[in-house]
Structure 1
Amino acid sequence: MMVPDRVEIDAAGDAVLAADQAAALLGVALPAFLADLRAGVVFSIVERGEGADAGTLRLTLRRRGTERRLVVDAATGRVIAAEGG
């Protein structure tokens, strides 16, 4: 699992991963990732931290039987923690 140091934060304040970052995080080649994305077997969820977790985003990626999570600083996009794998 290749964990990025940072992710992009878009204008809406959501975490955005490039396709190559997501593929590497899930441990799959980019063409296979893109095929699965088109087939609808790749899912992502972005959750905003509340309370003690305010100021963070949790990005969850799922592909087939694999799930990875990144906790990201919502202001800078810096990856704070990675889970799964």
Structure 2
Amino acid sequence: MTVPDRVEIDAAGDAVLSADQAASLLGVALPAFLADLRAGIVYSVVERGEGADAGTLRLTLRRRGAERRLVVEAATGRVIGAEPGG
């Protein structure tokens, strides 16, 4: 699992990972990741922090049995935390 230092924040304020970043984060080769993405077995969820977590986004990626989470500063896209999923 390779954790990026930063992710893109789009115009809507959502975190955006490239396919390379997502595949690396999940620990899978890019061709396998893309095949699973096309097959509809890669999922992502972006949650906006509230209260003490305001100003952050939590990005969760799921593929087959793997799940990974990133916590990102919403304003800059800087990754401030990473963990295996639960």
CA deviations 1:2-44 (Å, max 9, x no partner) are 0000000000000000000000000000000000000000000
Instruction: Please list, as runs of the form range in 1=range in 2, the aligned pairs for 1:2-81 lying within 5 A after superposition.
Output: 2-81=2-81
CA deviations 1:27-64 (Å, max 9, x no partner) are 00000000000000000000000000000000000000
> Which residue identity is paired with 2:74?
A
Structure 1 runs of 4+ aligned residues shifted over 3 Å read none
TM value normalised by structure 1: 0.99
CA distance in 2: counterparts of 1:83 and 1:62, whole angstroms: 13
Consecutive unaligned residues in structure 2, runs of 5 or more: none
Pairs aligned (count)? 85
Cα RMSD, aligned residues only? 0.8
Consecutive unaligned residues in structure 1, runs of 5 or more: none
